[in-house]
Amino acid sequence: MSQEPSNTEHRKAEHADDDIASTFIRETEVVEESVEDGKKVRRKGIYLLPNLFTTSALFSGFFAVVAGINGDFTAASVAIFIAMVLDGLDGRVARMTNTQSAFGAEYDSLADMLSFGVAPALVAFTWILQDIGKTGWVVAFLFVACAALRLARFNVQIGSVDKKWFIGLPSPSAAAVVAASVWTFHSFDADAFAFKLLMLFVVAAAGVLMVSNIRYYSFKDIDLKGPVPFVVLLAIVLGFVVISVEPSVMLLLLFGAYVASGPVLAVMRKMKPASSKP
């Protein structure tokens, strides 16, 4: 007789726990509404695979921040490049598996803000920009603010611009040129005042180019499924070999050329009509 009240209370406690758990799940569940074949569809939950890549990119960006604070600038730079690769995979995986979602797009933008906005600015600041004083952290903040503005503008321009071109320097490329600069100059123990000014210029220029109207080639019109000449595969292999010789320098040259391509092509387009006049 003495055990019955305790058993009853135990079962009530279990039911209460189940109710709390089910209520928590309902309150935290992600529900998306979309229009498919002219009908409004409510979908619960999120797609695991693409968001797994996004989470991995977010982790890489956070690791870059921690490594930069701890003074491990090589690991921080490499982590930013890893985040860049993972960021390029999540969208492609979502399209290949037909698992695109509004939640995934927003999650990707937030992850990009950390990996390609906060992380490179903080790594550059903790390495060398802090030696310049107030100007250093102002330029670092400029990069972060421009990355946020770039991502916000990109999100509202989806579907309204030519997919062949990016308007403004993509934030992953801006982060890559900053990370490659830190990786290269830190490896060479470049701490002279001239290198501090150079990093100041690189970070500021990358930030401004992100919010500019300069067009950058997006490479989205390249057909990866179609046949290509054998020499293309050979060139890719040689590219990997060249990068492996001195990764930091080769990546800096590669992304530096891409960053410079936008202004160079813009100047060439403006000069072309003038040169064609009699």
Q: DSSP per residue over 40-96, as a string? A: EEEEES--HHHHHHHHHHHHHHHHHHHHHHTT-HHHHHHHHHHHHHHHHHHHHHHHH
Contact call for residues 123 and 179 (beta carbons, < 8 A): yes
Domain count, the chain: 1
Position 129 scores a pLDDT of: 92
Mean pLDDT of 63-83: 95
* Domain assignment of residue 254, yes or no: no
Report the range of poorest mean pLDDT among 28-37, 39-48, 53-62, 85-94: 28-37
Position 277 scores a pLDDT of: 47
Report the range of poorest mean pLDDT among 109-118, 149-158, 231-240: 231-240
In the numeric block, which tokens belong to residue 249? 């320098």
Residue 276 has pLDDT above 60, yes or no: no
CATH number, domain containing residue 127 = 1.20.120.1760
As to burial, measured by CB atoms within 10 angstroms (0-12 exposed, 13-18 middle, 19+ buried), residue 165 is middle
Position 82 scores a pLDDT of: 96
Position 161 scores a pLDDT of: 66
* Domain assignment of residue 181, yes or no: yes
Position 164 scores a pLDDT of: 78
Residue 21 has pLDDT above 60, yes or no: no
Q: What angle do CA 13, 16, 22 make, to 5 degrees?
A: 145
* Domain assignment of residue 195, yes or no: yes
* Domain assignment of residue 52, yes or no: yes
Average pLDDT in the chain: 82
Q: Which domain holds residue 184?
A: 41-247
24-38, 62-76, 233-247: which is most confident: 62-76
* Domain assignment of residue 146, yes or no: yes
Position 28 scores a pLDDT of: 52
* Domain assignment of residue 233, yes or no: yes
Position 188 scores a pLDDT of: 74
* Domain assignment of residue 242, yes or no: yes
Mean pLDDT of 163-169: 85
* Domain assignment of residue 16, yes or no: no
Residue 138 has pLDDT above 90, yes or no: yes
Residue 119 has pLDDT above 60, yes or no: yes
Position 24 scores a pLDDT of: 43
Mean pLDDT of 178-196: 84
